[in-house]
Amino acid sequence: MNRKPIGIFDSGMGGLTVMRALAARLPNESFVYLGDTARLPYGTKSAETVRRYALQASRALVERDVKLVVVACNTASAVAVPDLAVAFAPIPVIGVIEPGAEAACRFSADGLIAVIATEGTVRGGAYARAIKVRSWRASVIQRACPLFVPLAEEGLVDGPIPESIARYYLDPIFSPPIYLDPMNLKQVHRPECLVLGCTHFPVLKQVIERVIGANVAIVDSAVTTAEAVACLLSERNLSNDGPIATPRFLVTDAPERFARVGEIFFGSAIDPATVELVDLQS
């Protein structure tokens, strides 16, 4: 039994969808969440900058005696997980890319998989590589959807504005009946699976489902990451079966707004008294 909390970080509030999934899957665990709200979004920044921010955020969690670090940010997962694993060993570090790719391949091992994410995640190609490692027959099409992040952060998750933006991003992917896969020049039909490659995107899921239509499996990396964390805790004998602590939240800016808007992502109210303002650069 290990009663230390699980640490989770993201550039903002999107990672609260991962924390929500973790809390549902692991009701006996305690959590510390860090949102780098002063420097979001990570998706438009260079890989070097994201690595530096990820190291600072992870260090803040490790200093609070966590037993595991969950990188609940696709952009940081794409570029920083190996560095974090080395820097904070033997504390395990797990990102959201690998679990999401694994789930996508279960839905579409030899068809077309669509990935929507931030500019940084798409530019780095981490999902495409992770999917190809698991299934070389699968084809991958990627699309950056940067406006989804501010929509989610503003709580604008339904209605004509998010739907029109979703159609702008997704119609070019799901309307053409046939694609030519550039990897092997084979023709493939419309995607069978859509990976939500940013932790902000699940709160827009209803709008996305309306736009892409039926018969498309949607992979939410929050749920798949929670399952991967559960397996890791069991394998390393890190699970807690004792009393749990109240969730703690750390932010680098605007704690009042985090407590208010974070409810959209977390699925329940966040007590402002549990939100602490921190400086990662000090």
CB neighbours of residue 175 within 10 Å: 11
For the chain, the C-alpha Rg in angstroms (whole number) is: 18
For residue 176, give both structure tokens: 């053409």
Q: Tell me which of 145, 193, 198, 231 is the catalytic residue.
A: 198
Q: Tell me which of 73, 105, 145, 193 is the catalytic residue.
A: 73
Q: What is the largest CA-CA distance in the chain?
A: 56
Q: How far apart are CA 37 and CA 262, in angstroms?
A: 11
For residue 35, give both structure tokens: 């949102």
Q: How far apart are CA 72 and CA 150, in angstroms?
A: 17
Q: What is the DSSP string of 67-113?
A: SEEEE--HHHHHHHHHHHHHHHTTS-EEESHHHHHHHHHHH-SSSEE
Based on the number of CB atoms within 10 Å of its own CB, is 143 exposed (0-12), middle (13-18) or buried (19 or more)? middle
Q: Tell me, yes or no, if 198 is annotated catalytic.
A: yes
Q: How many residues does the chain have?
A: 282
Residues annotated as part of the active site: 73, 198
